[in-house]
Amino acid sequence: MISAVDVIRTKRDGGALSDDQVRWFIDQYTRGHVADEQAAALLMAIVWRGMEPGELATWTDAMIRSGERLDLSAVGRPTVDKHSTGGVGDKISLPLVPLVAACGAAVPQLSGRGLGHTGGTLDKLESIAGLRAALSNDEVVEQLRTVGCVICAAGPALAPADRKLYAMRDVTGTVESIPLIASSIMSKKIAEGTSALVLDVKYGSGAFMREAGMARELAETMVGIGERNGVRTTAFLTSMESPLGRSAGNALEVAETLDVLDGGGPAGIVSLTLTLAAEMVALAGVDGDPATALRSGAARAKWDEMVRAQGGDPSAPLPEAEHMRVIESPASGFVTRLDAMDVGIAAWRLGAGREQKHDAVSATAGVTWTAGVGDAVEAGQPLLVLHADDAARLDAAEPLARAAFTIGAEPVDVAPLVLDVIRS
């Protein structure tokens, strides 16, 4: 007979959990028959002892089986999704999803809200007037069938074990574990029913994984889980030393998305969007060309169609902050550093992110900047603009915003955004 204490002891002492132990524990904890303190003890043991590949595969499968698996067989076109481990100014999903759909694939982007220095994908989308992010499974399938893409919240029936375990990890100091991170991400993505997946695994100042080596280990682990579950998976290692694009905030990042879809936008955002889109199209096996779909306006038309399908008005003006403050360059020279974490925390202090899951976020708050690493600037040139609904927040954010930039006398080489690509 299996007991929670025996499972904890096995992992505590460095042993591998049997398939039966894993499946029993996930099932019983999800049902509420294993106490929170016992789950916390096992999670801490996993943080210290790790998990073997077979053990992790069973753990992930048990999390998937804890709830429903979305059936996308009625969609009528190949499915492919993308997941990012997150970063400052990371709005790539917003232009990417309609772009790939415009190429002929169906993209079921089940996203979340942010916890920390910036908002999540849903926080950004909900700055659009009328847009509805909570859809039923039937609505998701129908929108994929008719429009080809959806960006919405994951339903509570998808991988409920992950939802419960994630909440426990967040309050017990057990987030930093590659097996637990990988199984959390992949259980949700596999449960959503997609046939292929592209992962954007970030490293650097503004990323969850600060070191490239740890990001690579996480990427390789997730690619392995995907392949074992029949999901064609590719991972890109991308830098988050500097924030992406020229904005960090909710409505601000939607505005930047529209610039990209209209044929403009920052070069880095456009480049990474096209790179990920090309891989998604290849994995899905469709013939569309992302560059052509972007240039022709097909991706923008698909965005408008998606927004309307979810109750939003794509022509409505985006909300703007009541208060703004311009920060000027203290000297002439070249930008040698733009720290992603400093920018992200500044955006959080302005109201763009949340500290607790129930906190509200401001649609209009955030930071915009006019120059990136390697760019020449003049003394007195506007470098950043702080946006907030509450003027008092500007004072709280300004020191970090000023500290984010370093201006040097000589130009520096700009590191490539994509470090490596990992395939099975």
pLDDT tens digits, 246-287: 999 999 999 999 999 999 999 999 999 999 999 999 999 999
Q: Are residues 139 and 241 in the same domain?
A: yes
pLDDT at 112: 75
Residue 415 lies in a domain: no
423 flagged as catalytic: no
Q: Are residues 276 and 329 in the same domain?
A: no
Q: Are residues 229 and 248 in the same domain?
A: yes
In sequence order, the β-bridge partners of residue 421 are 236
User: Where in the sequence is the domain holding 28, given as residue range(s)?
Assistant: 4-65
Q: What is the CATH number of the domain that holds 338?
A: 3.90.1170.30
Residue 413 lies in a domain: no
pLDDT at 358: 66
CA pair distance 195, 192, nearest whole angstrom: 9
Of the candidates 113, 124, 169, 228, the residue annotated as catalytic is 169
Of the candidates 66, 93, 111, 184, the residue annotated as catalytic is 184
Q: Are residues 86 and 33 in the same domain?
A: no
Residue 362 lies in a domain: yes
Q: Are residues 106 and 216 in the same domain?
A: yes
Sheet holding 366-369, edge to edge: 247-249, 366-369, 382-388, 323-328
Q: Does the model's pTM come out above 0.95?
A: no
Q: Within 13 Å of residue 215, how many CA atoms lie on the same side as its CB?
A: 28
Our count of domains for the chain comes to 3
End of a domain among 261, 288, 316? 316
Residue written as token pair 């900047």 = 369
Cα Rg of the chain, angstroms: 22
CA pair distance 121, 107, nearest whole angstrom: 15
83 flagged as catalytic: yes
Residue 100 lies in a domain: yes
pLDDT at 357: 63
CB 236 within 8 A of CB 109: no
Residue written as token pair 């008005």 = 313
In sequence order, the β-bridge partners of residue 150 are 108
Q: Are residues 60 and 87 in the same domain?
A: no
CB 91 within 8 A of CB 124: yes
In sequence order, the β-bridge partners of residue 248 are 367
Q: Are residues 134 and 239 in the same domain?
A: yes
205 flagged as catalytic: no
Residue 155 lies in a domain: yes
Rounded to 10°, the helix 212-228/178-191 angle is 40
Q: Are residues 8 and 146 in the same domain?
A: no
162 flagged as catalytic: yes
Q: Are residues 88 and 154 in the same domain?
A: yes
End of a domain among 284, 316, 348? 316
Residue 73 lies in a domain: no
Residue 263 lies in a domain: yes
3-state secondary structure of 30: helix
Q: How far is CA 51 from CA 56, 162, 319, in A?
A: 6, 17, 46
Residue 419 lies in a domain: no
Q: What tens digit of pLDDT does each residue of 74-110 get?
A: 999 999 999 998 888 899 999 999 999 999 999 999 8
117 flagged as catalytic: no
Q: Are residues 46 and 140 in the same domain?
A: no
Q: Are residues 150 and 97 in the same domain?
A: yes
Of the candidates 23, 188, 246, 302, the residue annotated as catalytic is 188
pLDDT at 115: 47
Of the candidates 61, 81, 162, 200, the residue annotated as catalytic is 162
Q: What is the CATH number of the domain that holds 28?
A: 1.20.970.10
End of a domain among 246, 281, 316? 316
Q: What is the CATH number of the domain that holds 201?
A: 3.40.1030.10
| pLDDT < 70 positions in the chain | 113-119, 354-358
Of the candidates 82, 83, 246, 387, the residue annotated as catalytic is 83
Q: Are residues 192 and 85 in the same domain?
A: yes
